[in-house]
Amino acid sequence: MKFKVNKVSTCPDLLYLTNILAEEITKKGNELVSSVENSNFVLNIIDLESPKAFRRKCQEEMVVSIAMLKNPVSDLKTACYVALVKSISNILFCISLQEGRENPKAFSITPEVGFTEFNYDPDNMYKYMYPVISSHFVLKNKLFDDLILEENEIIPEVEDLKAFGRELHDLGVLPAPFPLIEFLDKDLIDQLYRLYQIKGLSYGNLSIRNVNHNIEGTSYWMTARGVDKSNLKGIGKDMLLVKGYDKESGEMLVSVPLEHDPRIRVSVDAIEHYMIYREFPKTGAIVHVHAWIEDVLCTAQSYPCGTSELAENVVELLKKTSSPERTEVGLKNHGLTITGPDIVDIFRRIHGRLKTNVPMLN
């Protein structure tokens, strides 16, 4: 892979460590290129207190931001997450020398809020960033305004999404959408939408296999991207009908009514849900939460949401279970994907079992 270094911070310790890291990344077989060349990922060297966004040229260019913890903070996880958002990064590392140069610590955080502490060294840094820099997003949507709805038509799957979205909130595992407008200016939000087609960050999603609208192949109703799942309003507003996947173009195919929000996009996890429904026909519903259940099978890598690698990992993990259409699997440093024959069954099974703290695994 090709990578470049964008130096915003002037912190001597951070620049020194970055040079060593770049050397290690090169030793792993990657190529350091100039700032004007195309690259697979960027090392964005920033200050934690005033992070700057790197203006990537395309969606495929991943941004790894690195900062130095210069002074103690009361809530390091929050400080790192705010810096991650402000720098529009795929992963952020914060290095601390506060225990001495002989014992440096590093912390990493992702948009999925996987917050991990580890002993700093260049090889460890590369190990943690590799699943991010090597993965491929499937975030594009192709909207078809071909969904014909009768006046006042009630669709059972849609009503269930509304009801169980509220149930997720009641279970305490559905944080409110992250207000990007408070941290990014309009220009950066527009760039974020252009690259990733997202208007906000929110956690958790639900989907239910489509049985009432006659569509060939794999189709399902799913919550939209960046919306408040506890207050779902309607089709084409914050819920969508996915009717397929075009692998050649890398687009999720989405059916919407003539009147819809033109900027609406299905949840970033749509590709994972699509692969599960296609692979396991008895699966009737899927729920994803940033929570945990003890003793679940778990993916070995921390691939980002919305990547084909995460989707493929989850499918392979489900194949190892006795009932892939009715089980829970863990996503490392992230949360759970839960399948069921229907959504009522899922919520019966998880009630009282969910832990809101996801264990961080090395």
Which among 7, 89, 105 is positioned nearest to 47, based on CA atoms? 7
Rounded distance between C-alpha atoms, residue 306 and residue 178, angstroms: 18
Structural domains in the chain, sorted by start: 2-133 (3.40.50.10300), 142-350 (3.40.225.10)
- Over the chain, what is the mean pLDDT? 90
Q: What is the pLDDT of residues 25-80, one digit of tens each?
A: 999 999 999 988 999 999 999 999 999 989 887 778 999 999 999 988 998 988 99
**What are the tokens at 171?**
């279970």
Assess whether pLDDT exceeds 60 at residue 358: yes
Residue range 174-190: average pLDDT?
67
Better-scored residue on pLDDT, 245 or 153:
245
Q: For the range 71-74, what are the long-range contacts, defined as Cβ-Cβ under 8 Å and sequence gap of 24 or more? A: 72/98
Token pair belonging to 264 = 């609406």
Work out the average pLDDT over 255-283: 95
First to last CA, the chain: 24
**Range scoring the smallest mean pLDDT among 85-94, 111-120, 137-146:** 111-120
CA distance 309 to 293: 23
Provide mean pLDDT across the span 281-307.
93
pLDDT of residue 17: 93
Strand ranges for 124-197 from DSSP E: 140-144
Place of tokens 């996947």: 245
Q: Work out the burial of residue 358: count CB atoms within 10 Å of its CB; fewer than 13 is exposed, 13-18 middle, 19 or more buried.
A: buried
Q: Which of 334, 88, 62, 53 is nearest to 198 (CA)?
A: 88
Tell me the C-alpha distance between 329 and 349, whole Å.
13
pTM above 0.85, yes or no: yes
Looking at residue 345, its pLDDT comes to 98
Comparing CA positions, the residue from 166, 225, 182, 236 lying closest to residue 200 is: 225
Which of 54-63, 162-171, 263-272, 297-306 is predicted least confidently? Answer: 54-63
pLDDT at position 180 over 70: no
Provide the pLDDT for residue 324.
98
215-256 pLDDT, tens digit each: 888 999 999 988 889 999 999 999 999 999 999 999 999 999
